[in-house]
Chains A and B, each alone.
Chain A
Amino acid sequence: MLKKIIFQFLALSLIFTYSAQSAESGGMPQLNPEFWISQIFWLVLTFGLLFIILSKFILPKISNNLETRKSQILENIETADKQREETEKKVKEFDKIINDTKVEAKNFFNSERQKVLDDINNKRLSLEKDIEKEIIKAEEEIDQLKKTSQEKVTKIAIETSSDLVKQLIGEDINKSSLSAIVEDLSKKEMEKQNGI
């Protein structure tokens, strides 16, 4: 079937080209000079008018449009660049302000802390001084109390010992000798205590 179609196609094409060639015995219409002058005339007329109108009216407008667009784009780019630079400057300024404030805040904080610490220190020192004074006073009082208590104790000891001796013997003994004995004993006792 396919072979038949191809064969038919070839045969028909041969016939067709043959008939076409025979029909075209007049040759190419391009070589017929009958309308050459007319074609030249109309070509010069239309092409000439086309050239004049394009070059005088249309092309300058197009080139003008392109130029203005180019210049406008350049201008826009320029302004954009300028604005970008400005923004960068502003951002830098902003950063600087923030940094300054941070430093200031830090300084303020530090100074305030120092002040508070100093205050605390002063107060503590004065308090310590007061406490020391109090301690010294108390120690003095204690010392005094110690001294007076010893004297009293010896007095009481002498009195009680004299009373004891009086009751035991029924005689008064010289107070000074008693006191000497008592003092000697208490001293020994004290030394014993201290020694231990």
Chain B
Amino acid sequence: MAANPMYQFNVYRIGPEIKINNIDISFTNASLFMVISSLAILIIFNLGTKRSIIPNKIQLLAELSYSFISKMISDTAGSKAKPYFSFIFSLFMFVLFCNMFGMIPYSFTVTSHIIVTFVLAAFIFIGVTIIGFIKHGLGYLKLFVPSGVPMVLLPLIVVIEIISYLSRPISLSVRLFANMMAGHTMMKVFGGFVVSLGIVGGWLPLGFSVALTGLEILVAFLQAYVFAILTCIYLNDALNLHH
């Protein structure tokens, strides 16, 4: 059973079954890794709040991440996005830590589940849409009418814009989910090759596996970054109506 590369994505209950109004909200391995990631973030960043002029390593890490994300937000969404800093920071750190904890062998990757990424993306989509309507009223609908387009093309363009806007949560969630799932499946497959080919032929897939691990760590960071920066871009659309 462990040879099945999809087995690693199985969700199973840890502890007793918890039900509220016949809805199953039991604590699972996915919940466990969400809790572990959140606790790790809180512990690391809480250690990084020491008040010293010359920072130690953890403080430096916390402050560098803070300025990194702060710079990312101000670069993509401008100064108006400052109130949403905490949310984007939490989002980036949560996705990053979930991805990174997934890189530990025999652990579980929370972000490799479409439902988790979709809930995050849908929340961002709904939130950004609400912010856009609050900031610009019905003028936010101008987002679907780009300026400088010939009248003949306008109906087509508007339809395309609306479709692309509505597909944002899907593209955002599927991008992260598919990247994580594909990478982990591939690593599992190559790991299986190492075992099945044994000491004679196993070296080649082992090398592949090692290289893939490096690549996957890069992807784990990159996808968290992409997730956060796309959120910033959507937020930018809602805050500064360019069209």
Interface residues of A (CB under 8 A from B): 5, 8-9, 12-13, 16-17, 19-20, 23-24, 28-32, 34-44, 46-47, 49-51, 53-55, 57-59, 61-63, 65-66, 68-69, 72
Contacts and interface: CB of A to CB of B under 8 A. Distances in A.
Interface residues of B, number: 59
A30 B177 contact: yes
Interface in B1-52: 1, 3-6, 9-11, 13, 23-28, 30-31, 34-35, 37-38, 41-42, 45-46, 48-49, 51
Interface in B130-176: none
Interface centre among A32, A42, A53, A55 (most CB of B within 10 A): A42
A35 B110 CA distance: 13
B28 A24 contact: no
Contact of B201 (A8, A29, A38, A49): A8
6 contacts: A28-B9, A29-B10, A38-B31, A43-B34, A55-B86, A59-B85
Contacts of A51: 86-87, 90
B126 interface: no
A12 B119 contact: no
Contact of A59 (B59, B66, B192): B66
B26 A38 contact: yes
A105 B93 CA distance: 75
Contact of B6 (A24, A40, A44): A24
5 closest Cβ pairs, A-B complex: A55-B86, A42-B31, A61-B49, A46-B34, A51-B90
A24 B6 CA distance: 7
A166 B242 CA distance: 161
B222 interface: no
Contacts, number: 152
A39 B30 contact: yes
Contacts of B116: 39-40, 43
B89 interface: yes
B23 A46 contact: no
A29 B28 contact: no
Interface in B183-216: 189, 192-193, 196-197, 200-201, 204
A62 B112 CA distance: 31
B25 A42 contact: yes
Given A38-B25, A46-B35, A16 B86 contact: no
Interface of B: 1, 3-6, 9-11, 13, 23-28, 30-31, 34-35, 37-38, 41-42, 45-46, 48-49, 51, 53, 59, 62-63, 66-67, 85-87, 89-90, 93-94, 110, 112-116, 119-120, 177, 181, 189, 192-193, 196-197, 200-201, 204
Contact of B204 (A9, A32, A37, A44): A9
A37 B110 CA distance: 14
A20 B9 CA distance: 14
Given A43-B116, A46-B34, A46-B35, A55 B66 contact: no
A13 B186 CA distance: 13
B49 A63 contact: no
Contacts of A24: 4-6
Given A34-B11, A50-B90, A50-B94, A43 B119 contact: yes
Given A43-B119, A62-B62, A54 B45 contact: yes
A47 B24 contact: no
A39 B62 contact: no
A39 B66 contact: no
B90 A47 contact: yes
Contacts of A36: 115
B30 A35 contact: yes
B28 A39 contact: yes
Contacts of A31: 114
Contacts of B197: 8-9, 12
Contacts of B112: 30
B119 A44 contact: yes
